[in-house]
Amino acid sequence: MLLHSFLLALVVFIAAITQSTSGFGFGIVFMAVIPLFWPYKECTVLSMITCLFLQIITIIRLHKHIKWRMVIFPAIGAFIGTFIGVHLMININPRLMNLILGLFLWALAIYMIFISKRVHLKQGVPTELSMGFIGGFMSGMFAVGGPPMVAYYDSVIDEPLTYQATIQTYFMLTTLSNIFNNFLCGNVTAKLITPLCITLISCLLGTLVGIKILHKVSMQVIRKLAYTVMICAGTYDLIKAIFL
């Protein structure tokens, strides 16, 4: 149990640094490791609540850089997608979920590396609603809703602090919706209190380290980090789906 607690704290610390620099990745890193020794559904809720804490910290530190106009419509789309994703998650085989997620992350990484420079996503309500819906659905189903919104915000924002502040504000709204839907489904239980005490402290430390790094890097570095996280996570999920 002590070893599990140490691993939980370490994984959350790394996940918090990843998200607070690249804009996403907490759920990917967390869900790649913690379900190995914790029930999947409990891991999903634990990831969401801890990530909400990270988002609040980031928003407090970077609130002056938030582009509110670019948050509202993606959040509306995400609320709908999250509701559907959470309720589908209850009945889908975990191996199938890993396969779908792995294929999606690889496809999105290939798009962002080789195609996105030639295809500029147009900023507007239809695009924002669509990307928000896809992100919300993935968040509800896999606790990994970041990649679609990374693709969108990466296309329309060129300043690292604005990118980070805006995307974490969006994530905060969708995470609140996600936690509420999990509460309705009975997935939020008292068993999460003890691990939450560990994850919140570790998350705070990782987030503060990540924000310090963010002030020193360019948007190009952030993009490369985001692509790397997607490819590694996609590969891991495919291996789990096929061989484990």
Digit-by-digit pLDDT tens for the chain (244 residues) are 788 899 999 999 999 998 888 887 888 788 778 887 888 778 888 998 999 999 999 999 999 999 999 999 999 998 898 888 877 776 777 788 888 888 888 887 887 778 766 767 778 899 999 999 998 888 777 767 777 888 889 888 888 899 999 999 998 988 887 788 788 888 888 889 999 999 999 999 999 999 899 888 887 887 788 788 888 888 888 888 888 7
Q: Among candidates 153, 159, 107, 154, which has minimal Cα distance to 132?
A: 153
Report how far apart the first and last C-alpha atoms of the chain are (Å, whole number): 24
Residue 190 has what pLDDT?
87
Enclosing domain of residue 199 = 2-243
- State how many domains the chain has: 1
Residue 240 has what pLDDT?
82
- φ, ψ dihedrals at 208, nearest 5°: -65, -40
